[in-house]
Structure 1
Amino acid sequence: MIVGGGKISFYLSHMLLANGIDVKIIEKDAACCEMLSQKLPGATIIHGDGTDKALLLEEGLDRADAFAALTGMDEENIFLSLYAKTQSNIKTITKINRISFDEVVDGLDLDTVIYPKDITAEYIIRYTRALGNSIGSNVETMHRIAGGKVEALEFVIRENAPVVNIPLIDLNLKNDILVACIQRGGRIILPRGNDCMKVGDGVIVVTSRTGLKDIRDILGKSRSGQ
């Protein structure tokens, strides 16, 4: 069940329907309901006020597997998700656009909270990193964690990389760099000081630094020559 018929709801519903999942959208704007009905023929579109408790129960809130509060009002989304949790052991998704009181939101009984601005920023960064790949960068994937303060990056180790076959303990790593994982031939290695990175390895680096584009960027000046 989704409350709110905006763009996020539309694209989410499209993906859910493509995977065989039943979708019900409650939207109070009649014109929006008409548009959704035409573009999402497989979904059930309800014209009504999603903050109406009686309507939510009538439409099966207590029987739904998941509930997404995706209206344009942060406070409304939070209260809707909290109410949904009182009706059943339901998975909730709550969209928050503006509220910056993270410590308060984190203390609430909300399963998944999404911040569209943060998601957009992450995808922009991924896109720019992908552009960098075309000119020599070897960042395969990147995720922002810890409220966007930390990046987890996946590198592929290539020939002539300055880290190949050197024990981690002997690498002059910059501060705030953690080599968290090495994937080699389908095997996961939690690296210790004597482990080495080899050609073809996938390596996860976690850092509070920004702008890393190549595995050599994890090295201090004495090793990388920068």
Structure 2
Amino acid sequence: MQVVIVGAGQVGTLITATDSDEKNLLVSLLAKDVGVQRTVAIVEDGEYAPLFEAVGVDVAVNPREVTAEEIIRFTQEGQIENLSLVENRQAEVIEIEVTEESVLADRPINESITDLPSEVVIGAVTRGREFIVPRGETIIKPGDHVVLFVSTHILSEVMNAI
């Protein structure tokens, strides 16, 4: 493998996508060292992603995790708008649009959350262009977008309720 970075100080972003995590890490770090502003590395071993970012790679992407996130999002019948797996797939961050049938609709959070498993945390609410910090007395309305933190093992139960 030969890597040539000409005019690296003028490169905005360098993406490394070789067949080796080690090569991707080395090339990314060398690129940063010669002045590349931002580096993105493909990481086949998902457990390495936090290490890549800890030592200076700006973004580490594991294609399997990205694919898994998309598959989960599509299998939830369009209910989930965005999804991210966190902590080695132990939890998920999901964004949903609240429907009129949802247990969250037209009720204060401190009341509606009792109908969900205890491992669910409401992290954010947006209504139109307005960001609402969720509090116990916040009333979620149909059409609101809600970000939830959910333990992976209860995702189906939560999706059935909301």
TM-score bin, normalised by smaller chain:
0.7 to 0.9
Q: What is the identity, as a one-letter code, of the residue corresponding to 2:150?
A: T
Match for 1:69 among 3, 6, 16? 16
Match of 1:82, SS state, is helix
1:201 is matched with which residue? 144
Partner letter of residue 67 of structure 2?
T
Which whole-Å CA distance do the structure 1 matches of 2:33 and 2:128 have between them? 47
Contact 1:154–1:203 (CA<8 Å) still a contact in 2? yes
Q: For 1:37-52, list aligned pairs within 5 A.
A: 49-50=2-3
Alignment partner of 1:86 is 2:86: no
**1:83 and 1:202, CA in 2 relative to 1: closer, same or farther beyond 3 A?**
same
Unaligned runs of 5+ in 1: 1-27, 29-48, 219-226
SS in 2 for 1:199: coil
In the TM superposition, residue 199 of structure 1 has moved relative to its aligned partner by 2.0
Distance 1:98 1:181, change over 3 A: closer
One-letter amino acid of the counterpart of residue 217, structure 1: A
Give the match for residue 5 of structure 1: none
Aligned twin of 1:190: 133
Distance in 2 (CA, whole Å) between partners of 1:89 and 1:189 is 38
Question: Is residue 45 of structure 2 the alignment partner of residue 98 of structure 1?
Answer: yes
Q: Equivalents in 1 of 2:89, 2:122: separation in Å?
A: 19
Q: Give the deviation of 1:159 after TM superposition.
A: 2.2
Closer/same/farther in 2, CA of residues 127 and 216 from structure 1, 3 Å limit: closer
CA spacing shift, 1:196–1:212, aligned 2, 3 Å: farther
1:110 corresponds, among 44, 57, 63, to: 57
Aligned length: 159
Bigger Rg, which one: 1
Q: TM-score, normalised by structure 1?
A: 0.61
Give the match for residue 178 of structure 1.
Answer: 121
Q: 2:75 aligns with which of 128, 131, 142?
A: 128
Looking at structure 2, the residues matched to 121 and 201 of structure 1 have their Cα atoms a distance apart, in angstroms, of 26
Question: Do residues 163 (structure 1) and 107 (structure 2) align?
Answer: no
Q: Would you say the 8 A contact 1:176–1:209 is kept in 2?
A: no
Contact map agreement 1:155 1:215 (CA 8 A) in 2: no
Measure the CA separation in 2 of the matches of 1:197 and 1:156.
10
CA distance in 2, matches of 1:182, 1:191: 6
- CA deviations 1:117-151 (Å, max 9, x no partner) are 1112112212212xx23xxxx33332223443321
Q: TM-score, normalised by structure 2?
A: 0.82
CA separation of 1:165/1:85 partners in 2, compared to 1, >3 Å: closer, same or farther? same
Unaligned 5+ segments in structure 2 are none
- 1:119 maps to 66
Counterpart-to-counterpart distance in 1, 2:123 and 2:12: 35
